[in-house]
Amino acid sequence: MKKRVAKLKRTTRETDVMVEINLDGCGKSRITTGLPFLDHMLVLFAKHSSIDMVIVAKGDLEVDAHHTVEDIGLTLGEVLNKALGDRKGITRYGWSYVPMDDALARAVIDLGGRPYLVCDFAHRGKKIEKFDLGLIPEFLRALSVQGRMNLHVAQLYGVDAHHAYESVFKAMAKALSMACSKDARVKGVPSSKGTL
C-alpha cells in the first residue's frame, strides 16, 4: 500500500510554516506555533484523528495571531490534500459528535474535492487567555479550501470556552479519521462521476 504522507514548507514575509503528516499514523505529534492554546488544540486533533503530525510555525505574533493561524490552516490543508493523493479507496465521508464535559460539538466532512465551510459556534466567548477565538473560523476556512473538503462544524452548546472548542477539534479529528480511512469495498474514487 502506498504511504499517505506529505510535507510542505510555506514561507511568506509574515510567516514560516512547516507541516508534515502521515495519514496512517497513530496520532503522534510535535506542534510548535507560538500560540499555546492552538498548540493544545492541534495536539488533540492529531491524537484523536490518529494522524501523525508535525507543525512548526513562526509568525509575526507581535502584530497579531491572524497570519500565523490562517497560514497554518492553509499549509495543513495543502499537506492533507497531497497526502490523500488521488483519493482512491477512501471512505470519503466522516462525521462525529464529541462531548467535553458541559460542551458538545458535531463535525461532518466530505473529502469529495469541493471546498466549503459552514461553522456555527453556540459559545460566544471572545478569548481564551490571549488567544482570539474569532481566528478559529479563519483556520477552518483555510483548512477546508486547501484540503479540498466540505466541512460543517457546529459547537452545539457549552458553558466553558475551553471545553467548547476542545469538543470542536476532537469532533473534527474523529470525522477526518473516518473520511480518510480506506474501505476495501471502494474501487477507484468514491464518486458516481468517476472523479473527485
User: CA-CA distances (angstroms) from residue 2 to 22, 83, 86, 136, 149?
Assistant: 11, 10, 11, 33, 22
- Segment 93-135, tens digit of pLDDT: 999 999 999 999 999 999 999 999 999 999 988 999 899 999 9
Q: What is the pLDDT of residue 161?
A: 95
Q: What is the pLDDT of residue 137?
A: 97
Q: Is 152 helix (H, G, I), strand (E, B) or coil?
A: strand
Q: What is the pLDDT of residue 185?
A: 81
Question: Domains along the chain?
Answer: 5-180 (3.30.230.40)
- Segment 53-82, tens digit of pLDDT: 999 999 999 999 999 999 999 999 999 999
Cβ contact 155:103 at 8 Å: yes
